[in-house]
Structure 1
Amino acid sequence: MLDYRFLFIFYWWMKQEGYRGREEHFVRFMNMVGMAKMPDIAQQIFDEMENVGLKPTATTFTCLIHVYAENHAYEKSQDLLEKMSTLGLKPNVVTYSGLIHFYGRDGCYDEMARMFNIMRTIGCSPNAYTYRSLIRAYAHAGLIARMEKAFEEMISEGWPPDSSCINLMVQAKAVTVSLTELGNLYELFKKYRILIREPTIRAMAIAFIRASGFYQLGQFVRQVGLRRPNVGNLLWNLLLLSYASNFSMKNLQREFQNMKEAGFEPDLTTFNIRAMAFSRMQMFWDLHVTVLHMQSMSVMPDLITYGAVVDAYVAGNLQPKLSNALKEMQMFQSFPEVRTDEMVFEAFGLGDFHKYCTKFLSSEEGNASPTSYRTLTMAYLDMK
């Protein structure tokens, strides 16, 4: 991090030497102290320009306007805009675009729109940064109609969308569109040759899951490309989840093998997707083999794995055999934790044992002292 005290020492030295700097030096200082959350110092630097024989220009005013806006002092920014007019200086696209960015950052969407309309009224044409700032802000706010209007206008003006715009747009739209429209959203990435990012993959996956579109989820991850290493096991896990949620066990087993053959090592979420499916289907042998496989790969189980075993045996009225199955996991003395991707819960919901643990651990009794799996299991089975 920069030591901003050095900037003031340097500025003092510049004055002592009688150095008559150029405008860009003052602008640089103002930007730096603005980033340091010191708008008052930026104002002093601005005022000092006249003392050294420099007349502030639109560039200098723009810098100070942005410094105040960055520090949420919008009234000061507006006062400076009016002062520019009285001096015959015209705000430019940089001036307005910066204000639009900061208004959007702070959720002031009406003010942001007002700035944009002023630009158009005075003939100051928005640039790519202006439109992207609008789109990002509206996407974060979930203002879909405004976001789409800004996007369409940007394209019609000949400004290309960037990766951030497309990803944020799709994340925002995934929450609201129908299952059919959701399946078409990926076309935007293909059209503009933009790489879909992990948060967008997750947003779309959760939307598919909540709409019970498990088949469409499988199609989506295949479109994205299962061999993308930059998202780890996410795409493979989603593909497995699309089959596990429909209890398509043969396809689940086949794609699990394909995952390994493609060079992707199963992680905790991979195993728990399978464990949850085996548990619900009461496939005890497969559940047993999953636990052994995890041990062979040094993948530590969590509450989801443990709960899958408990729920399967309780639902199958096999409590007498449950003790041996749990001993095999070697978790009795451990403390419960969840390390599984939350999308598994979106698809399967919480198991009965998981629900019980969540309720117990949030209670006064559960908060009193650390609770082991053994204690939780005994209390849960006593309740049954």
Structure 2
Amino acid sequence: MENVYRRVLNSGTVVKNDFIRKLAEVYIDNYMFSRLEKLGVDLSSRFGVLSRRGMDSIVDEMKEQNVPWNETVANIIMLAYLKMKDFTHLRIFLSQLLTQGVEPDIITVGIVFDANRIGYDGSRTLDTWRENGFLHKAVEMNTDPLVLTTFGKGHFLRNCEAAYSSLDPEVRENKTWTYHHLIDLVFKHTECSLSMKD
């Protein structure tokens, strides 16, 4: 199946959706996630899957079919906008999360902080989360882990892991981690790491 796909891709012929879906299912069923990521990269570079117009058509189709939002779907779309540095659509999506009944999770928080690193101003989003008490809720990951396998862990999530693993096991286990605590920990750890390099 892969050989056929490579031949079709190299010939410049448009690959049919059913074929892409079947190939992706084979990769998922056999835990071949690195190949799934490569498939996505190939398709996005050849056929413009990861484009503003492509994302707009996905969002429009979801609306037409009344597909309910959830953390996984919302974070996939926002990660795509982040990769494209499309801050306008990212801001719109972030502002609609709560009205669509989607509670942000650690992946959503990571998206905001990773976007901030490359020029996005997420202060309005953080203010909204602070006002509605979200930042004082316990940290959760409600996004399908396959999303991280496909898009990779962003800068913020990698810093979370590094900061968390630097703590004593007793501190890790005996604390209820809220988003506020975790964000503080990441910034303190990052500042400490920078000062150790100086």
Q: Return the TM-score normalized by structure 2.
A: 0.67
Q: 1:262: how far off?
A: 2.5
Contact kept, 8 Å, 1:179 with 1:208, in 2: the verdict is no
Tell me, yes or no, if structure 1 residue 206 matches structure 2 residue 33. yes
Contact kept, 8 Å, 1:360 with 1:366, in 2: the verdict is no
Q: Name the residue aligned to 2:12.
A: none
Q: Name the residue aligned to 1:285.
A: 88
Note the 1:246-257 alignment, pairs <5 A. Answer: 246=50, 248-257=51-60
- Of 95, 102, 125 in structure 2, the residue corresponding to residue 325 of structure 1 is 125
SS of alignment partner, residue 211 of structure 1: helix
Identical counterparts, % of pairs: 22
Distance 1:353 1:265, change over 3 A: same
Note the 1:186-225 alignment, pairs <5 A. Answer: 202-203=28-29, 206=33, 208-214=35-41
Tell me, yes or no, if structure 1 residue 354 matches structure 2 residue 157. yes
Q: 1:279: how far off?
A: 2.6
Q: Name the residue aligned to 1:180.
A: 5
Q: 1:255: how far off?
A: 1.6
SS of alignment partner, residue 139 of structure 2: coil
SS of alignment partner, residue 142 of structure 2: coil
Amino acid at match of 2:128: E
Deviations 1:283-309 (A, max 9, x none): 333222112222111111111111101
Contact kept, 8 Å, 1:278 with 1:286, in 2: the verdict is yes
- Of 73, 78, 89 in structure 2, the residue corresponding to residue 270 of structure 1 is 73
Q: Return the TM-score normalized by structure 1.
A: 0.37
Q: 1:266: how far off?
A: 2.6
Note the 1:357-376 alignment, pairs <5 A. Answer: 357-362=160-165, 363-364=167-168, 365-376=171-182
Kindly tell me the number of residue pairs found equivalent between the two proteins. Answer: 168
Amino acid at match of 1:264: V
Note the 1:215-254 alignment, pairs <5 A. Answer: 243=49, 246=50, 248-254=51-57
Deviations 1:30-52 (A, max 9, x none): xxxxxxxxxxxxxxxxxxxxxxx
List alignment gaps of at least 5 residues for structure 1.
1-173, 184-188, 191-195, 218-241
Note the 1:99-178 alignment, pairs <5 A. Answer: none
Q: Name the residue aligned to 1:379.
A: 185
For residues 160 and 152 of structure 2, the distance between their equivalents in structure 1, rounded to whole angstroms, comes to 14
Structure number with greater CO (CA < 8 Å, separation at least 6) is 2
Contact kept, 8 Å, 1:302 with 1:338, in 2: the verdict is yes
SS of alignment partner, residue 371 of structure 1: coil
Note the 1:59-98 alignment, pairs <5 A. Answer: none
Q: 1:199: how far off?
A: 6.8
Note the 1:3-42 alignment, pairs <5 A. Answer: none
Contact kept, 8 Å, 1:273 with 1:344, in 2: the verdict is yes
Amino acid at match of 1:378: D
Deviations 1:327-368 (A, max 9, x none): 223421012221112222122100111112233334424334
For residues 56 and 73 of structure 2, the distance between their equivalents in structure 1, rounded to whole angstroms, comes to 12
- The alignment's C-alpha RMSD in Å is 3.5
For residues 312 and 293 of structure 1, the distance between their equivalents in structure 2, rounded to whole angstroms, comes to 17
Distance 1:199 1:344, change over 3 A: same
For residues 203 and 179 of structure 1, the distance between their equivalents in structure 2, rounded to whole angstroms, comes to 19
Deviations 1:124-164 (A, max 9, x none): xxxxxxxxxxxxxxxxxxxxxxxxxxxxxxxxxxxxxxxxx
SS of alignment partner, residue 332 of structure 1: helix
Contact kept, 8 Å, 2:137 with 2:179, in 1: the verdict is yes
For residues 281 and 375 of structure 1, the distance between their equivalents in structure 2, rounded to whole angstroms, comes to 30
Tell me, yes or no, if structure 1 residue 295 matches structure 2 residue 98. yes
Q: 1:211: how far off?
A: 2.6
Contact kept, 8 Å, 2:135 with 2:180, in 1: the verdict is yes
SS of alignment partner, residue 353 of structure 1: helix
